[in-house]
Amino acid sequence: MTFGQLEIFVALSEAQSFTLTARRLGISQPAVSHALKSLETALNVSLFDRQGSQIVLTPIGAQLLERAREILGLSRTMQQEAASFRGLDTGNLRIGSFGATSSLQLLPDLMSAFHRAYPGIDVFIEEAADDIIVKWLEERRIDMGFVVLPDDRFETIPIATDQFVALVPRQSALAKQERVTLSDLCNDPFIMPESGSVKIVSALFAAAGLTPQTRYRTSQLLSTLSMVGRGQGVSVVAEMAVPAAHPDAPWVIRPLSPAHPRMIGLALHPTAVRSPAVTAFLRIAKTLRTRPRGA
């Protein structure tokens, strides 16, 4: 059993395709097949079930996948610690990001500061919805990820304070109000954002004993902005996810009354060993904590 075989095993579990795995790793498809066969022979178990052109992890394969990720993570940590001892800041870092809030508002400053301090460390950003980021953290596919706090499943570090706001058409009566209540938003067709905030937004209305007139469900923020701008409904979104509005934009945001803040943080698997790259990134992140616009 070699590290190369484990890397191919992990990559194959994510791509679920010999062809895609070979392309991703820059090796031949026969090399992927040979590595998997050699690993299965060494372990004396079948790691995948072949179902036509697709492959699916066997129960023991799913169990050993977590061990493989642990081993590879420890290997990377050892390499980075050795490089740090030699005075070489090299390595890599995998971060999960959930859309506009973290990818557009938080990561740019973080990445700029990190690359200035550690130009030799490669950072890979993987984007997905909130629940997928959590799944990747649990599977150790990423070293850390942005999550909405609190989250007791992980070790977390608060990074930014955000808040939910009402998104309404500029020409509507609601746009003339300084603040908008959840009850106000129940009088118009509601556009439910499905891109990760749906559980939180639904919980806000439920806690207030209200039910919005959900007529549309959108998976992209740009779709929500466009529909609200055309007067097709109203919505509730995270303030940090919304781009700065042009004076002529057909939509506006208004603070909710009462306010509904949220805290965003970086999360790590509780048993993961922190590599020097992870430690360095967290140290920089703590110095660049952000507050919502207008706070």
79-85 average pLDDT score: 74
Q: What is the pLDDT of residue 50?
A: 83
DSSP 97: E
Q: What is the pLDDT of residue 85?
A: 65
Question: What separation in angstroms does the CA of 25 have from each of 9, 11, 19, 21, 32?
Answer: 11, 8, 10, 6, 9
Give the integer Cα–Cα distance in Å for 65 and 46: 12
User: Model's pTM, two decimal places?
Assistant: 0.71
CA-nearest of 190, 178, 152, 144 to 286 is 144
Q: Looking at the predicted structure, is the pLDDT value of residue 59 above 90?
A: yes
Q: What is the pLDDT of residue 293?
A: 47
Q: Which CATH superfamily is domain 162-261 in?
A: Periplasmic binding protein-like II (3.40.190.10)
Sequence-distant (≥ 6) Cβ neighbours of residue 25 within 8 angstroms: 7, 8, 11, 32
Q: Looking at the predicted structure, is the pLDDT value of residue 39 above 60?
A: yes
pLDDT grade, residue 231 (50/70/90)? Answer: very high
Average pLDDT, the chain: 89
Percent of the chain scoring above 70 in pLDDT: 95
Paired with 238 in beta bridges are 164
Q: Looking at the predicted structure, is the pLDDT value of residue 42 above 90?
A: yes
Q: Which two tokens stand for residue 195?
A: 């891109």
The answer to whether the Cα torsion of 262, 293, 156, 132 is positive or negative is: positive
Give the integer Cα–Cα distance in Å for 12 and 68: 12
By three-state DSSP, how is residue 252 classified?
strand
249-256 average pLDDT score: 96
**Burial of 186 by CB count in 10 Å (0-12 exposed, 13-18 middle, 19+ buried)?**
middle
Parts of the chain belonging to CATH 3.40.190.10: 162-261
243-251 average pLDDT score: 86
Q: What is the pLDDT of residue 88?
A: 56
Write out pLDDT tens, residues 101-134: 888 889 999 999 999 988 888 899 998 888 889 9
Q: Which two tokens stand for residue 41?
A: 């022979």
Write out pLDDT tens, residues 137-167: 988 889 999 999 999 999 999 999 999 999 9
Indicate the CATH number for domain 1-85. 1.10.10.10
Q: Looking at the predicted structure, is the pLDDT value of residue 294 above 60?
A: no
3-22 average pLDDT score: 91
Q: What is the pLDDT of residue 194?
A: 81
Write out pLDDT tens, residues 180-230: 999 999 999 999 988 667 888 999 999 999 999 999 999 888 899 999 999
CB 146 within 8 A of CB 111: no
